[in-house]
Amino acid sequence: MTYELISICDACKQAIADGEGGLWVDMSEVEQASINERAWEQLEAEQHESGVRTFSGESIQSYPDPARWRVHHYSCDPSPSANSYAIEVHRCRSWADLVWWTAHLMGKSWLGQTDWDELLQQASESAGNRITPAVRPHLHQAQWAGRGSAQKTGRSTGRPAWHIRRCHLD
């Protein structure tokens, strides 16, 4: 069978066949990412009289990393007993599957604490080593008129600048 998307094992770097592995995120890492973000906001936020929190460009550089989605063969999984949210690879073989899972995950309050957005962007650019297209897709990227290049990134990790959007206002 021909698939649009191929899942690559983080450990052995080989393609994963149906029934032999999955994508997963460790929920304890998601919780830790949430704790780290709240601590970062408390340390770095500047509170203005209007009730708006702002962050300096320098403080953005120390923004905590999200929980990472991993892809493993079951036999390569370094944490088989982790409390994880998992998706079997056979359920994520097409772009339509990936869109469906994204819509489903958007209903989870913790999705913003993960790097799902990076996984999607890397897959769409054929730059992913977790999910990669079998055939390189043609992207219709918007140009960032008057705001620099089309490749907007946040900090040295290459996280998209728009990812640093989560501010909890009281």
Instruction: Quote the Cα angle for 56-59-61, to 5°.
Output: 120
Residue 69 lies in a domain: yes
Tracing tokens 């409390």 back to the chain, one arrives at 83
Residue 111 lies in a domain: yes
Residue 148 lies in a domain: no
CA distance 119 to 42: 28
Hey, is 167 helix, strand or coil?
Answer: coil
Q: Which range has the worst mean pLDDT, 39-43, 61-65, 82-86, 136-140? A: 136-140
Task: Say what angle helices 95-105 and 116-124 make with each other, to 10 degrees.
Answer: 160
Residues in the chain: 170
Residue-wise pLDDT for 105-156, tens only, equals 999 999 999 999 999 999 988 877 899 888 877 777 665 544 443 343 443 4
Model pTM score: 0.74
Strands 131-133 and 46-47: unpaired
Which pLDDT score, from 0 to 100, does residue 142 have?
60
| Domain count within the chain | 1
Residue 161 lies in a domain: no
Is 33 in contact with 43 (CB distance < 8 Å)? no
CA distance 14 to 20: 11
What value does the mean pLDDT take over residues 75-102? 96
Which pLDDT score, from 0 to 100, does residue 134 have?
87
Residue 114 lies in a domain: yes
Residue 51 lies in a domain: no
Residue 90 lies in a domain: yes
Residue 15 lies in a domain: yes
Residue-wise pLDDT for 27-57, tens only, equals 999 999 999 988 888 877 766 666 677 777 7
Domain hosting 36: range is 5-45+56-137
